[in-house]
Structure 1
Amino acid sequence: MRSYLYCLLKIVAITWLLSGCNGTDNKSASPVSKPPESDVNKTNLNGRSYYLSLPAKNFDSKKAYKLLLAFHGSGQGAQSMRSMSALESASDNYIVVYPQSKVEEWNEGCDCNKPHRLGIDDLGFVDEVVADVKTKYNIIDDELYAVGFSQGGLFAQNLMCNSDLQFNAIASVASPMSVQLSQSCYIENNTHYMMVHGKNDKTLPYYGLTHSNFGLIASEYAIELIAKENDIESPVEVEKTNATTKYVYKNDIHINQLVAIEGGGHSWGFTGFNTTEEVISFFDSVSLNKLDIHSSLYRVGTQPNKDVHVRSMGLEHSGPAIILLSGFNKNFHSDSAWFSLLQPLIAKTHRVHVIERFGNGFSSDVDQPSYASFVSALDKTLNILNEDELIVVSFASANILAHLWQVSPDSHASANLKGMLWVDPDILLPHSISLYQDWPVSWYREVGGDLIEHIQQGNWTERTLGKLAAEREEMNALIPINYQNDMNWPYFDLISQGRAQIDKQVTRAKEIMNYHDDLASVLNSDIATSVPITVIDTDFESHDIANAEPEYVDGLIKWQQEGTQWSHLISEQSGGQYVPLNNSDHMAVFQHPDEIIKAIINLNNQ
C-alpha cells in the first residue's frame, strides 16, 4: 500500500507537469529561463544516474568550483528540477548536480515510504555522486551544498541529519519536516541552513500535518528544532516585509533561517521572491570563499588538493599582463587587500592578476606557508593563466618570491617575463637581512609551537581585530583625494577582515617563523639582470630611525643607506629605473599608485 505522502504528491506532480506552473498559477512563479540541454551531462553510476550542469558561462576546467546538489520532488525527476530551478544560471562559481531518485521519491528519513520499504540507500548514492564528480572536476574543499524542492527538500534535511558528508550549507524549498525525522534527527556536522516555504502550501502544509503514517511538524517549529541541533542557542530574530517573514537563528559560526512567503503555495518560485537567486545568495553569504566576479581558484596540486586564488581584471586589454604579488606590512599582513586600489587603477589600461600565496585570502592552507615554498605553485598558476608576456610587480618582501621564481631552473613561465617592478623591496644583503631576522621574527621562532597553540585557542583574535581597525584608518588616510572613488573598500574589508580567522592568524605566525629561512635562502643572491628591474624606494625607514632607541639608530641608518645603494645598483645593472619617493609611507600601493603605474608603463615601453 502506497504511503499517504506519495499519493498526495503524485497528484500534485501530475498537475504540475500538465500545467507547467509548479502547483500555482503562472503569475506567482518567478520565470526561470531553461538552459540549453547541450550543457547537461547524464552520468550512469552503479545502476543510478545524475545530471550535471556546468556554469552557464566562463567554465574553465583548470578552475576549482563549489559543488551544489539539487534534489527533485516526488514524481518530478532530475531534468524537471533543472528546468524549474536553473541554479547554474545564477552563478559562475558552482557545478550543479541533479541526482535522479531510483523510484518516485527519495528515502527521506521518515522510514515510512516506498524507497524505505525497498531498502534504497539514497544517502549512500549521494556519497557516490559526490565522489564521482570529484574525480572529474576540481571541487573546492569544504564547499559542498545541497538544496531540495518538496519531497526533495525533506531528503535534503535527511542529509543534514544523517549524512557523513560535511555540507557547508543546505536549503529546502516547500518542505516542512516529517514528525519521524524531527524525533530522530541528530546533526553531527553543524551547517548553515535555509528553509523557504509558502504559508498557503496545501501539499506539504506550512503549519504541519497530522497523519497516522506521515505527519509533518510546522515549519516554524522545524527551524527552531534544526537550529538547536546545529548548536545555535540564541533567540529567534524576526524580520518582516510585505512579501516575507524571516525567522533567523544564528551564532558566531552558523546561521539557520526560515523564509516564510506570505500567500505562497507549493511552488519553487513566488511573486517578489526569486528562489533560485535567493538560495545562491544565501550559499554565497555563508561560503568560506566569497569569490566575486573577478576571482577564481585554480587547482595547482591534487595530492592533496591545493587551490590558488587569482583576482583578474582588465582582461579586455592587450599587451603584457601585470602580475601583483603582495608582501608584508609592519604587522606582517600580506594578501590581495593591499591591491584594492592599485589593481582597479591598473585594470583601466592593462590586464592585471593578483596572485595570493597559500594560506592568504582564498588560497588553500598549507602546513608550512612561506615565500620559498610557493615558487612552484606560482609558476604553475602563471602557466594556467597562459599570458604571453608578464610584468611582475612585487610589494615589500614579495621580491623574495619574485626573485626565487625568476632564477629557479624549474620555472617555465619566467621565459615570458618582460620586466619586474619591486616596490620597497627587502634588501638582500647581510646587514639588512640580520635586521629582518631579528625581533619579532626571532621571538616567533623561539616560542614556536606554544604560540601556535595559544593562537588556536583564540587568544589573539581581539588584538588582531584591533590591528585591522587601525590598518584600515591608516590606509584610508594615505589614499590621495583624486583616487578615493577608485578604492574598493568592500573588497579590502572582505579580505582584510578574514585575517582575524584563526586559520589566517596561524598562517601569519608560521609565515613569520619561516621568513627567517626565506631570507637565508636569498642572502647575497646574484640578482638576475636578464630583464629590467625597476625599484621604487620609499624613505619609510626615516620614521623608524627617528623613533628608535639610541642603541639601534646606527644600525637602522646603515640599513637605509645600503638599501638605497643596492636598489640603485640593481636597477642600473638590469636596465630598469631607480625611483626614490621622499616623505613617503611604506604602503606606497595606497599612497603613490600613480608612481607605480608610471613605472609599469615605462617597463612596458622598454
Structure 2
Amino acid sequence: MKQPINTIAAIILLLTLAGCQSSDSKNEPPKVDDSTQQIQLGGRSYLLSLPQNYHSSNSYKLLLAFHPSGGTSQEMRSLSQFDKLSSDYIVAYPKSEQVEWNEGCDCNIAHRLGADDLGFTQNVINDIRQRHSITEGEIYAAGFSQGGLFVQNLACNLSDTFKAVAVVAAPMSIQLASSCAPQQPVSIMMVHGTADPVLPYNGLVHSNFGLISSPDAIALLAEKNSGLPYALQKTLSANVSLSSYHNGKQKFQLFSMKDGGHNWQYAGFDSSREILKFFASTGQPELPEHSQLVSTERGQFHVRAMGLNNPGPAVVLLAGPNYNYHSDSAWFAALQPLLAQQYRVYSIDRLGNAYSSTSDDLSYRRFADDLALVLQQLQETQVTLVAFASSSISARWFYQQYQQQFTINAMLYIDPDIPLAHSLSLYQGYPADWYLANLPALIPHLGAGNWTARTQDKLNIEYQEVQQLVGQNNVQLDWSYFEQIMQLRLLIPQQQTRAREIAAYTADLDSYASLPMVSGIPVSVIDSDFEQQQIEQAANEPELVAALQQWQQEGSAWSAEQASLSNGQYIALPNSDHLVPLQQPHSVKQALDWLFNQAQLP
C-alpha cells in the first residue's frame, strides 16, 4: 500500500526539536525534570507533567498532547509548553508505537501494523486516573500535524471521553470524514495555515491519503456534533480569520492563518495559549460583531450595541413576535445598522432569546424590570424606546415603573398590541390559551426535541419570506447577523422560552390593559395593514373575517388616539407586512427622526 506523498519525510524535516531521554529505573518512573516523569505502560510510554504547586489532594483537568509523525513526547512538550502555561491541567504527552499514529484513515504504517492507539489513549487516561485526581468531565486532547489527524480520530471515536479537542496543522482524511460518528458532541478547535505545504489547507487528492479541506472538515465536524447550520465568519486580525459553529453547548472553530505554513505557532497567534482559552470557554458560542453579554443579578442579556460614538440619548430596540411567535433581535438586522449611522443603538434580547441566558420565569411584563437592570449596566440613563409588536407591553411597563429613574424621551410603537376588549379576546385565544393549559407537559416534550423538526420547517419558510421582503424593497440587511440569531431558535432552551412566553401572554395582556395611554412623552405609532392578508385568507369564513376586520379597525383607532394624545405621529403603512423593521426600516428611521426633532434631541 502506498504511503502519503513524502508526508512523513517532510514533517520530520520540518521538526528540529530535541529527543526525550529514557531511563532503565524499574523502581520509579524516570524524571525528565522536577515536574515531569516518563511513564512506562504496557510496553509503551508517555510523559506526565504535573502543574506547578501540584497537591495530591486537589483535582485537575487532564490534557493529552500528541506529537507529529516521526516525533517524540519530549518534542511535543517542548513545542506546546502546555504544562508551563497553566496550573489547571495535568498534561500527558503520549508516544506513538510506530513512526506515526493510527489516525483513522486505514492507510498508513500504524494501521498496517495494527497499532491500537485508541486503546492506548484510554489506557493512558486510566493510568493517570489511578495516580492522580482528575476532574470529572474535564479531559482534553491536542495534536500537531499527523498527531492532529489522530486527535480527530479521538473526536470521532472516543467522543464520550473528551470534552474538547484541538487540531493544529491538519485538515481531515477522506476516510475518517466518511466514517466519523461521534457518540456525543465534543467541542473541536482547528488551527491551520492556508499555505501549508505538508498537509494542505485546501485538501489533497490522492488515491491512498486523500484529504478534505480544513473549512470542509470543521463544517463536517460541526454537523456530526449537531451544530447549527450557519457559520459565523470573523476577521480577527490581518492574518487570522475565524469560522465558528456551535450547538448551544459545544462549539467548533477553525482559525485560518493567512499564508501560514506547517507550524504549531504562527505570527500573532500563540496556538498553545489559544487552545487553553478555547478549552476554558467551550460552552460559550462565539458572539457576532457588536454583540456582548451584559450580566445582571437576573441573568446575562445579549446586547447588540452599534453607533456608540454617536451623541444624544440611546435608542433601545425591543423585539416582539412574528406570527410564529419568534421574537429576537434578528428582526433588527436591517434597522439597527441603518439607525447606527446617526444614533447610539442597542438591541436587547429578553432572557431565553438569542444569546441571553435562560430562566423559568419569563414574560414581557418581567422584561421591563430586566431592561432597567441592563440599562444600568450600560450606563445609559436617557433613552428612546422602539417597541415592535408585543414588546409594547415591556415598553409601556418600563415607562410606568422607571420614568423617574430614567429619562425616557419618547417611544415608537411598531404594530403594538392593542389593549382593548375585542383585540384582547383574539390575542388571548388560540394559541395562547392552549400553551397556558398545556405548558407543564409541553416543556419536557420540547426538551426531548420533539418539535425541533417543525421549528426548522418554520424557520426555513420564514427565511424565504424575509428574503422576499428585503429583495422587493432593496433593503440592506446584515444576513450574517440575521442567520446567527435566527438559527438559535432551534435550540431546546429557546423553544422552551417561546412556550413559556406564549403561556404568560394572557397575564401580560391583562396587566398591559390595566394601564392608561401614555400622555407625558411623545408616542408615535407605525400601523401596518398586515391584518389584511389574514382577512383575505379567511374569505370563506365570514365570522372570522368580521372578527379580523374589527381587530384591524380597533387597532388603527387605538393607535391614532395614542399618538394624538401624546403629540406623537400616527403613521399608517399601506400594503405592508407585519415585519416592518425588515421590510421598511427607512420608515422606522423617519419616524424616529421626527421624534428626535420634536424633542429637540441631538
User: Shorter-chain TM-score: which interval?
Assistant: 0.5 to 0.7
Give the letter for the 2:290 counterpart: H
Q: Secondary structure at the match of 1:252?
A: coil
The residue matched to 1:426 in structure 2 has which SS? coil
Alpha-carbon distance between aligned partners in 1 of 2:253 and 2:416, rounded to the nearest angstrom:
49
* Residue of structure 2 aligned with 1:514, choices 481, 500, 504: 504
1:597 aligned to which of 564, 589, 592 = 589
Query: 1:319 Cα shift?
Result: 1.7
Alignment of 1:41-60 (within 5 A): none
Question: How far, CA to CA, are the matches of 1:321 and 1:342 in structure 2?
Answer: 15
Task: For 2:36 and 2:156, locate their aligned partners in 1 and report how far apart those are by CA, in whole Å.
Answer: 26
Which of 276, 293, 297 is the equivalent residue of 1:297?
A: 293
Partner of residue 357, structure 2 = 364
**C-alpha separation between the residues in 2 aligned to 1:113 and 1:122?**
18
What residue in structure 2 maps to residue 80 of structure 1?
none
Q: Which amino acid aligns with 1:428?
A: P
Would you say the 8 A contact 1:396–1:422 is kept in 2? Answer: yes
Identify the residue that residue 560 of structure 2 maps to in structure 1: 568
Contact 2:308 2:344 in 1 (8 A): yes
Letter of the structure 2 residue corresponding to residue 570 of structure 1: Q
Counterpart AA for 1:463: R
> Partner of 2:142 in structure 1?
195
Query: Equivalent residue for 1:149?
Result: 81
Q: 3-state DSSP class of the match of 1:558?
A: helix
SS in 1 for 2:457: helix
Q: Which amino acid aligns with 1:288?
A: Q
Check if 1:319 corresponds to 2:259: no
* Unmatched segments (≥5 aa) in structure 2: 1-14, 19-31, 63-78, 93-117, 163-173, 179-191, 201-213, 228-249
1:493 equivalent in alignment to 2:497? no
2:425 aligned residue: 434
Q: Does 1:407 align with 2:400?
A: yes
Change (3 A) 1:436 1:279: same
Shift, 1:123, TM fit: 4.9
Distance 1:533 1:379 in 2: 20
What's the CA shift string for 1:37-74, capped at 9, x where partnerless?
xxxxxxxxxxxxxxxxxxxxxxxxxxxxxxxxxxxxx9
Q: Which runs of 5+ in 1 are unaligned?
A: 1-21, 26-73, 76-102, 128-146, 161-175, 200-205, 207-218
Distance 1:260 1:299 in 2: 31
Q: Deviation of residue 559 (structure 1)?
A: 1.0
State the shift of 1:155 in Å: 8.1
Distance 1:152-1:591 versus aligned 2 partners, 3 A rule:
same
Report deviation, 1:114. 8.2
Residue 443, structure 1, aligned to residue 434, structure 2: yes
What is the deviation of 1:228? 3.3
Rounded to whole Å, the distance in 1 between the matches of 2:276 and 2:47 is: 32
- Which secondary structure state, in structure 2, belongs to the residue aligned with residue 417 of structure 1? strand
Q: Does the CA-based 8 Å contact 1:309-1:362 persist in structure 2?
A: yes
> Where do residues 95-244 of structure 1 align in structure 2 (5 Å cutoff)?
104=35, 120-121=55-56, 123-124=58-59, 149-151=81-83, 158=90, 181-184=124-127, 195-197=142-144, 220-221=149-150, 223-225=152-154, 227-231=156-160, 236-237=176-177, 242-244=197-199
Which residue does 1:534 correspond to in 2? 524
Give the 3 Å change call, closer, same or farther, for CA 122–490 of structure 1 in structure 2.
farther
Asked whether the 8 Å contact 1:346–1:352 carries over to 2, the reply is yes
Alignment of 1:438-477 (within 5 A): 438-477=429-468
What CA deviation, in whole Å up to 9, does each residue of 1:140-196 have, x standing for no partner?
A: xxxxxxx97344589877589xxxxxxxxxxxxxxx997863444789966896624
TM-score (norm 1): 0.64
CA distance in 2, matches of 1:389, 1:354: 15
Whole-Å separation in 2 of the counterparts to 1:150 and 1:429? 65
Tell me which moved more, 540-549 or 118-127: 118-127
- What secondary structure, in the 3-state scheme, does the structure 1 residue paired with 2:303 have? strand
Pick aligned residue for 2:337 from 311, 336, 344 = 344
Distance 1:427 1:530 in 2: 19
Q: How far 1:509 sits from its partner (Å)?
A: 0.7
After superposition, the Cα gap between the structure-2 partners of 1:368 and 1:114, relative to the gap in structure 1 and judged at 3 Å, is closer
- What's the CA shift for 1:252? 2.0
* Secondary structure of 1:236 counterpart: helix
The CA distance in 2 between the partners of 1:388 and 1:256, in whole Å, is 39
* CA–CA separation in structure 1 for the residues paired with 2:337 and 2:255: 37
Deviation of the 1:399 alpha carbon:
0.3
Q: Which amino acid aligns with 2:581?
A: V
Tell me the matched-pair count.
450
- For 1:181, give the aligned amino acid: V
**Can you list the C-alpha shifts for 1:399-455, whole angstroms capped at 9, x where unaligned?**
0000011101x5654x31110000000001121111100001111112221222221
TM superposition shift of 1:368 = 2.0
Equivalent-residue separation in structure 2 for 1:552 and 1:522 (angstroms): 25
Partner residue of 1:251 out of 221, 225, 235: 225
SS at match of 1:230: coil
Distance 1:298 1:400, change over 3 A: same
Q: Give how far 1:312 is off.
A: 0.3
Alpha-carbon shift at residue 469 of structure 1 (Å): 0.8
Indicate whether 1:395 and 2:395 are aligned: no
Taking the aligned partners of 1:235 and 1:255, their CA distance within structure 2 comes to 23
SS in 2 for 1:237: helix
Could you tell me how far apart the structure 2 residues matched to 1:387 and 1:420 are? 16
Letter in 1 for 2:153: E
1:528-565 residue CA offsets vs partner (Å, 9 max, x unmatched): 21110000001111111222222222221111111111
Q: Is the 8 A contact 2:330 2:481 kept in 1?
A: yes
User: What fraction of aligned residue pairs are identical, expressed as a percent?
Assistant: 34
Q: Deviation per CA, 1:97-128: give whole Å up to 9, x if none.
A: xxxxxx7469999998685999724854789x
Q: Deviations over 1:201-258 (max 9, x none)?
A: xxxxx5xxxxxxxxxxxx6555534653323999733999535466876432657899
Q: Which amino acid aligns with 1:197?
A: F
RMSD over aligned CA atoms reads 4.4
The SS at the match of 2:352 is coil
Cα separation, 2, equivalents of 1:148 and 1:121: 25
Cα distance in 1 for partners of 2:275, 2:325 equals 37
Question: What is the TM-score with the length of structure 2 in the denominator?
Answer: 0.65
